[in-house]
Structure 1
């Protein structure tokens, strides 16, 4: 057993700030209200989560609070350089710090990022004197500071060109680095008691100076220390403090400088010893996810530290509001000012929750029969909502799936098997990609996503209406990504056109893979042929008609009374179900509901969405049965709240108990060719429209007869003479010629105990004359009989099956 230490150190911290507010009622060029700056920050910040480098603190989360507040959660541990430098540091350590900061800047430059916020309190050192930069993404996430009401960066370390308006140059960070190292070498803080305006003038005065480092040393009476610095190191700092940015070295040039090459091993990152605390060996983003499940709340932590203060709204009411929108009133509260305090997030609660877990659970062995990997097996019976919030269960699932995903595609069968139980929300994006057999190969980069096309106008109209309640999808970054994905899909499918609804279909994949556009694109690329084959053709009427026709038949199969009622008031699926199936319900349900629905959908075949549709009708059954045509139209125009867990369970149950051929459609992507014992392509749309009940294939019929005879009831509609010659085992003869179908009551058929016979079974109508089976199946549906279908190709097909299944007299 793994026991937690008495005082776990915190590895996470948060900072908070306010975004700039827009003036009241300002709209953009498209006539829509402007996106709040805090949402824009949220969108831009996401890419920072992908930065993983030994010299950079990892960003973990960005939370949007009230009144444009943004909260940033990131890795944070060790000592700040500001604290460390209170004692004089030796030259080798200063060189090590310099080298590792340059490594961090090189990594950022490769991602086209700059810091512009470099100062000693944002440089952390661990026990091995490894450097990690903290809060380096503030400038990027606020779009060069445009989204916030305060300046970014410490004036003391800013280069002259920043005061003159230059930005986004990595060489500005090289100056800041030079100033920080110069302070360390001269063992002093520059201009400690000087006003900001005077420091600004001082730095601008350097534009007239040849050697800035020497000038600063002279000003601070440190010439003697300046002279004692190693000559090569001194020239390196002088180079970093060149007034002209062009003369300053790039990070790559600094790293290859001769001064470092002499003793490179003492300067490079030292891998810290592995922690005895197993939790710390897990990825930091997983620790943060579990911390939240264990009751962690960033906003509550900030409140405790006084960084979030509640004030009476009445104090903020303006005294005068001018017609132009200007406001006269109380000054903005002090609590809205920038407060750069760092609040560590305590992990005690998480340790308490996980302290009794077996060590094996941290690193499950998935191919060793001796060691179980199915931890938490007893909790699978609990409702999904509870399982998703249970810290212990989610710990087991995340660790297991993390291992399985590393082995993909070789572990794809195990991933599918585990996903059938449930999918942890934390890993949903990559798990869906595995279930769709996605293997990224870099193809997305090669697709043209920028050349204007005829569909651009429609895409631009649709995107600002697509799941805009979600903060990520409503951000400018979210809009750009969604546009790129849609354009890429249209470009990659010249045979298809952009239909409205494709944006809603793409949104869940983008939401789950916001930082991995290729995975989002490939998931969509695989999803559409699997579930919506040929739906996006320019003329998709035949495909949609066939789909809706099959939906009507399956509704009659599972809900005959409801189907009969809807048919009687002429409320056809064309009036409500097209947006359901064209967008796989992503247009009619919010994202959080779609997630659980698609978790099950991904495990089913192309027929699964039809059962979801029936499950929705089932939930609305009592309302629909008491409604006329107009009431039904109103009901579906504003769909009531659907209990998604019931919908998922119900659709799963129907999907599993329905023979595959009953939901057969011609327009699907097939892995195996059809045989004569399947439902053959000669069944046209006209046939489907004329038949209320679905057909079952001879293959499925034989399968039921051999393996589950108690689940079926075969009604043979041939004459008594034909039946006496040859028949199906366990079948019941109901000669069609002798039946009275005018009155929808089973007792008019004169078959003893027929009701008990068909109760809870699949009822299969078999006849030599197809029209007889069609009429009789309609009669059974009118009687309210569940799960009625017709044997495709009638009784004659059964003669050709080998080995013979018929009984002859």
Structure 2
């Protein structure tokens, strides 16, 4: 992406032809408006960058099928052929947009004869494959030839002739031996053109498509070789995800004060065009307002825009076609004064940020202090704050230059700048390597049985979004989904996969390979084995663990939902199968996944509990039928609150409490990375206890029937060791690592007999014998021992026993009494005996 340098941003508008309102496609759905079709096809223009070309930055839809486009305007021409005329290059860039719109909406003067011969037609969603192609490389070569000839002639071709006459003229060119000569005689400019330029035009304007060169062959023409020394050939930049070596060029001078000295230096011009435009919008820039102020867009009262009525006698009444709806080539310059004024207090240091380990010796400026305070504001405010976003964009731009940079997840814990969210997610997911080559190697064209289901699902997936609802969006959806299905033969396509794909495709619309790579990395991390042909055991285990998480964090709500029979099977499957993309719009998913990608596979459980807690009062007040209706149309959920509470729930959850057999084995996160450390964070890996005897202290897999029979989750012995901060006997040669968070509040309840408790128990645990605290039926009795529990309500309660059935029953009764954070030691005290960490009471003297 090029820097702004001395260029300016410009905007223009045009109108797409409206479609009839009473016509539907072959799939029965309304036809996609032409403006949305152009919007989707336009996106590829944003990827075309060259030091000598105007760059397209953005496009947006306005009222009445209007489209407002933004370009970066350059002040140097391509070669002497255009007489260094900036206006002519703007005209060329303006005409290029027609090449990416449906054939019936392009400039007829530039259409190739074979395109005109196809006639005008509308593409319907259900007949994209069957419809004739509106264009192709050879047709575009003709259009480029007409554009270049127009620039050489110094004026527009055929613009003063009626459309029907233009088409006739172009068609009649087919009987001419030398089309360039005919056009040159029409304009009297052939003698002024160099021979190599005439050769180039003659090759472009060959009437039979088979005789025209391809774009690659066109670049080999001598006319381009002649200017190669003055204008270096454009080379694709080394991709962030590429097999080629790359250098980030992040060297900074020793004295930063020298770097940032000079009040007159324009740091903003050193940023890329898309960054400047993004900041311009945040600073109050409004395309429609700018175009309206220049009378390019004219607003009229409704009474002045009545249609033209024709009565039976042929008399017409009403308004003729508004001239403001006709094409206007005027390009309006977008002033950056407001943006520069907004950023006037941002010092030069903000454009050259130092990372965490480089802060020594850097003076704190007033602006940096203000920006630090801004990080505590609500996320939606931070994303609209111009100064704050500038600092975040500059910082992430540097961090993302090195995907292995440790500070990227650390900074993502604060927030992710929307402009760089796509690359940030890819980095957090560990996407690397030559992803484009891998994607290109996948067969996305051969028909497979899943094609039909994909075709049915795509038109229903986030179609409120203009980009994803465009035909080009559907094509990209189809290719990415098909690539995933083909490249994962052991898995199958389940409904919901399209919703999972949507966020990645939206953020990487012009990079299908990156969208595919991100989705391929996301699914095994959070949805391991969810897309097996028979995924019933995976889903049931997931929902059972979720039920235990509800009981662990909110026993009152869990008791009520179980009493009315409103189990997670009835509402939570779409949540987890699509990671909430089926129930939330994209803008909420972005904020949710910014945090989700920092956590492990257990974090979705916490999100689910946080959603239920937002609906808690309504759920507790309603029965089964009302709850069903409530979830059929899910009420508005405060996503920022949901994220905040999810993090709190995650940090209160012992790591082994969410153990699942059908989960991908992952390495523990490094210290300080992630959304926050859950309880017993370091006990995720046995190697954190190198001096323990050789014994397995982790969770043991349970049969699904046994797992469903238990209300409270189990935790591993290694979790208990960490939660109780057991230092153990002398054989610990090195201290056990501890979280840097506040000391955990935990109560270990040993329900064995007093005799067994006296033979050895966990240090700090209390003894409430099961026989004296529970009836033969398992009911919890009111006794002095159980009163002790009431004084510790709110702590994490770990039930210890040699008999797992007794421990599970005791924990279930605590949940019935609305005790939160109750769990059971997996394997019982027998596992703890082998660790040598049990304490024996000193004998009484």
TM over 0.5: same fold?
yes
Shift of 1:430: 1.1
User: Are 2:38 and 1:41 equivalent residues in the alignment?
Assistant: yes
- Given that 1:739 and 1:749 are in contact with CA atoms closer than 8 Å, whether structure 2 keeps it comes out as yes
Deviations 1:255-308 (CA, angstroms, capped at 9, x unpaired): 65667767853566899xxx9522111110111011011111111111111122
Shift of 1:725: 3.1
User: Are 2:4 and 1:18 equivalent residues in the alignment?
Assistant: no
TM-score, normalization: structure 2? 0.80
Counterparts of 1:44-83 in structure 2, within 5 Å, are: 44-78=41-75
User: Are 2:341 and 1:352 equivalent residues in the alignment?
Assistant: yes
Q: Closer, same or farther in 2 for the Cα pair 1:190/1:138, shift >3 Å?
A: closer
Deviations 1:492-519 (CA, angstroms, capped at 9, x unpaired): 1111111111111111111111111111
The 3-state SS of whatever aligns with 1:15 is strand
User: Are 2:112 and 1:123 equivalent residues in the alignment?
Assistant: no
Q: Show the counterpart of 1:109.
A: none
The 3-state SS of whatever aligns with 1:339 is coil
State how far apart, in whole Å, the 1-side matches of 2:587 and 2:144 are: 45
Shift of 1:486: 1.4
- Given that 1:496 and 1:538 are in contact with CA atoms closer than 8 Å, whether structure 2 keeps it comes out as yes
User: Are 2:229 and 1:265 equivalent residues in the alignment?
Assistant: yes
- Given that 1:534 and 1:667 are in contact with CA atoms closer than 8 Å, whether structure 2 keeps it comes out as yes
- The correspondence for 2:666, drawn from 651, 665, 671, is 671
Counterparts of 1:22-33 in structure 2, within 5 Å, are: 22-33=19-30
User: Are 2:89 and 1:94 equivalent residues in the alignment?
Assistant: no
Shift of 1:807: 5.2
State how far apart, in whole Å, the 1-side matches of 2:835 and 2:310 are: 85
Q: Show the counterpart of 1:792.
A: 826
User: Are 2:537 and 1:536 equivalent residues in the alignment?
Assistant: no
- The correspondence for 1:176, drawn from 146, 151, 171, is 146
State how far apart, in whole Å, the 1-side matches of 2:790 and 2:319 are: 79
User: Are 2:804 and 1:770 equivalent residues in the alignment?
Assistant: yes
Q: Closer, same or farther in 2 for the Cα pair 1:161/1:22, shift >3 Å?
A: closer
Counterparts of 1:417-566 in structure 2, within 5 Å, are: 417-441=410-434, 442-566=437-561
Shift of 1:212: 7.3
Q: CA RMSD in A?
A: 3.8
- The correspondence for 2:293, drawn from 298, 304, 314, is 304
Shift of 1:31: 0.9
State how far apart, in whole Å, the 1-side matches of 2:189 and 2:479 are: 56
State how far apart, in whole Å, the 2-side matches of 1:20 and 1:551 are: 51
State how far apart, in whole Å, the 2-side matches of 1:520 and 1:685 are: 35
State how far apart, in whole Å, the 1-side matches of 2:226 and 2:88 are: 28
Deviations 1:435-481 (CA, angstroms, capped at 9, x unpaired): 11111422111111122222222111111111111111111111111
State how far apart, in whole Å, the 1-side matches of 2:113 and 2:577 are: 57
State how far apart, in whole Å, the 1-side matches of 2:581 and 2:157 are: 58
Counterparts of 1:572-611 in structure 2, within 5 Å, are: 572-611=567-606
Shift of 1:61: 0.8
State how far apart, in whole Å, the 1-side matches of 2:459 and 2:234 are: 48
State how far apart, in whole Å, the 2-side matches of 1:297 and 1:742 are: 74
- Given that 1:212 and 1:241 are in contact with CA atoms closer than 8 Å, whether structure 2 keeps it comes out as no
State how far apart, in whole Å, the 2-side matches of 1:425 and 1:697 are: 40
Q: Show the counterpart of 1:363.
A: 352
Shift of 1:160: 8.3
Shift of 1:356: 2.1
State how far apart, in whole Å, the 1-side matches of 2:825 and 2:655 are: 13
Shift of 1:379: 2.4
Deviations 1:389-440 (CA, angstroms, capped at 9, x unpaired): 11111101111111111112x21x2111111111111111111111111114
Q: Show the counterpart of 2:107.
A: 152
Q: Which moved more, 1:724-733 or 1:21-30?
A: 724-733
State how far apart, in whole Å, the 1-side matches of 2:223 and 2:514 are: 43
Deviations 1:676-734 (CA, angstroms, capped at 9, x unpaired): 54444442212211111011111010001115775100111112232233222221111
State how far apart, in whole Å, the 2-side matches of 1:683 and 1:234 are: 77
The 3-state SS of whatever aligns with 2:400 is helix
Q: Show the counterpart of 1:704.
A: 723
Q: Show the counterpart of 1:84.
A: none
Deviations 1:210-232 (CA, angstroms, capped at 9, x unpaired): 77777778777889xx4xx6974
The 3-state SS of whatever aligns with 1:443 is helix
Q: Show the counterpart of 2:644.
A: 649
State how far apart, in whole Å, the 2-side matches of 1:241 and 1:481 are: 30
Shift of 1:575: 0.8
The alignment of Structure 1 onto Structure 2 pairs a total of residues equal to 744
Deviations 1:622-672 (CA, angstroms, capped at 9, x unpaired): 111111111111111111111111111001111012110111111101136
- Given that 2:142 and 2:204 are in contact with CA atoms closer than 8 Å, whether structure 1 keeps it comes out as no
Q: Closer, same or farther in 2 for the Cα pair 1:29/1:781, shift >3 Å?
A: same
Counterparts of 1:230-241 in structure 2, within 5 Å, are: 232=195, 236=199, 239=202
Q: Closer, same or farther in 2 for the Cα pair 1:233/1:656, shift >3 Å?
A: same
Q: Which moved more, 1:798-807 or 1:779-788?
A: 798-807
Counterparts of 1:273-422 in structure 2, within 5 Å, are: 276-317=265-306, 330-366=319-355, 368-370=358-360, 376-408=371-403, 410-411=404-405, 413-422=406-415
Deviations 1:130-179 (CA, angstroms, capped at 9, x unpaired): xx9522431223123x2x3xx516x5x88988887797534434643663
- Given that 1:15 and 1:341 are in contact with CA atoms closer than 8 Å, whether structure 2 keeps it comes out as yes
State how far apart, in whole Å, the 1-side matches of 2:212 and 2:620 are: 78
Q: Closer, same or farther in 2 for the Cα pair 1:30/1:729, shift >3 Å?
A: same
- Given that 1:530 and 1:669 are in contact with CA atoms closer than 8 Å, whether structure 2 keeps it comes out as yes
- Given that 1:718 and 1:767 are in contact with CA atoms closer than 8 Å, whether structure 2 keeps it comes out as yes
Shift of 1:801: 1.3
TM-score, normalization: structure 1? 0.83
Unaligned runs of 5+ in 1: 82-92, 101-118, 125-131
Q: Closer, same or farther in 2 for the Cα pair 1:747/1:377, shift >3 Å?
A: farther
Shift of 1:181: 6.0
State how far apart, in whole Å, the 1-side matches of 2:449 and 2:430 are: 31
State how far apart, in whole Å, the 1-side matches of 2:189 and 2:632 are: 78
State how far apart, in whole Å, the 1-side matches of 2:696 and 2:752 are: 21
State how far apart, in whole Å, the 1-side matches of 2:503 and 2:386 are: 25
State how far apart, in whole Å, the 2-side matches of 1:321 and 1:755 are: 86
State how far apart, in whole Å, the 2-side matches of 1:253 and 1:559 are: 68
- Given that 1:677 and 1:697 are in contact with CA atoms closer than 8 Å, whether structure 2 keeps it comes out as no
Q: Closer, same or farther in 2 for the Cα pair 1:344/1:744, shift >3 Å?
A: farther
The 3-state SS of whatever aligns with 1:665 is coil
Q: Closer, same or farther in 2 for the Cα pair 1:808/1:427, shift >3 Å?
A: farther
State how far apart, in whole Å, the 1-side matches of 2:425 and 2:287 are: 29
- Given that 1:174 and 1:250 are in contact with CA atoms closer than 8 Å, whether structure 2 keeps it comes out as no
Q: Closer, same or farther in 2 for the Cα pair 1:742/1:143, shift >3 Å?
A: farther
